[in-house]
Amino acid sequence: MPDSLVLVAQQGAVRTLTLNRPAALNSFTAAMHEELRAKLDEAATDREVRCLVLTGAGRAFCAGQDLADPMVAPAREGEAPKDLGVVIERLYKPLVLRLRAMPVPVIASVNGVAAGAGANLALNCDLVIAARSVSFIQAFAKIGLVPDTGGTWLLPRLVGRQRALGLALLGDKLAAADAERMGLVWQCVDDAALPDTTQAVAQKLAAMPVAALAETRRAMDRAQHLTLEDALSEEAQVQGRLGQAHDYLEGVAAFSARRAPQFSDR
């Protein structure tokens, strides 16, 4: 039985998925894509899961696309050229859309280098917690590509056009502490503290009204395309829905009774 390419662990209501191709710095093959998507689907439908953590095995988070995979290796003389767009449409686009539509908060626990699609995979998560020794690399320019996995959409929104272009055009290593200063990363912590910090944040989120947290992500993403007036209407609509849900009633009842709330909506 070959090793699983994505390891699954559960601690309370927190599901951790670990990319597991450490010899190739957890770079993506088609098989790892398929396995990750299947495990994200499972986590999305399992009501026992209230927060998801993504991390990597060994010394990397993820080095992006596996450049040795025949699916993307440049065509040799006489071969038809590869259409990388097909790979993006088939694998990377559904992965990003799956991740951003998760019904629970998602944390990237960046344990090692995050390069190319691996960096942008992390940035697509709701919170990025990074070990101090790691770096983020928009490696695409070095091999003649543009930032993908949502990089062109995310980077200017996260750090502004100038910094986004600086990162993407130069492809230099960005240290975790600088990524935190720029707002690419929620928290940069000492390496030894990463697992415990991640778990503490994840457990805290898991105990919160996660349906409202997922709606917060969705509403913020949607508001990027809206006028203020339309965003206000959107907020009214979502609040209208959430205001009738169990978690709101429970939250207010718990507040009034001065007891801890028991949230359960997903």
How do beta strands 135-137 and 127-131 pair? unpaired
Q: Which of 7, 30, 31, 67 is in the footprint of ligand T3D by CB under 6 A?
A: 67
Nearer CB in complex with ligand T3D: 31/84: 84
Q: How many helices (H) and strands (E) does the chain have?
A: 11, 10
**# binding residues, ligand T3D (CB under 6 A):** 22
Q: Is 65 in the site for ligand T3D (CB under 6 A)?
A: yes
Q: Kindly state the smallest distance separating residue 84's Cβ from ligand T3D, in Å.
A: 4
Q: Looking only at residues 99 through 158 of this chain, which bind ligand T3D when binding is defined by CB under 6 A?
A: 113, 115-117, 137, 139-140, 143, 145, 148
Q: Which stretch binds ligand T3D (CB under 6 A): 48-56, 59-67, 95-103, 221-229?
A: 59-67
- Min. distance of Cβ 114 from ligand T3D in angstroms? 8
Q: Which of residues 6-45 bind ligand T3D (CB under 6 A)?
A: 24-25, 27
Contact yes or no for 19/6 (Cβ under 8 A): yes
Q: Please, is 201 exposed, middle or buried when counting C-beta atoms within 10 Å of its C-beta (0-12, 13-18, 19+)? A: buried
Q: Is the CB of residue 119 less than 8 Å from the CB of residue 176?
A: no
**Please, which residue, 88 or 219, has the CB nearer to ligand T3D?**
88
CB of 77 vs ligand T3D, minimal distance in Å:
20
- Is residue 84 a contact residue for ligand T3D (CB under 6 A)? yes
What residue number has its CB nearest to ligand T3D? 64
Does 87 interact with ligand T3D (rule: CB under 6 A)?
A: yes
Where b means 16+ CB within 10 Å and e means fewer, 228-247 reads eeebeeeeeebeeebeebeb
Give the CB-side neighbour count of residue 262, counting CA atoms within 13 A.
Answer: 0
Residue with tokens 């130069």: 170
Please list the residues that pair with 10 across neighbouring strands.
15
d(CA 86, CA 39): 23
Residues that bind ligand T3D (CB under 6 A): 24-25, 27, 63-68, 72, 84, 87, 113, 115-117, 137, 139-140, 143, 145, 148
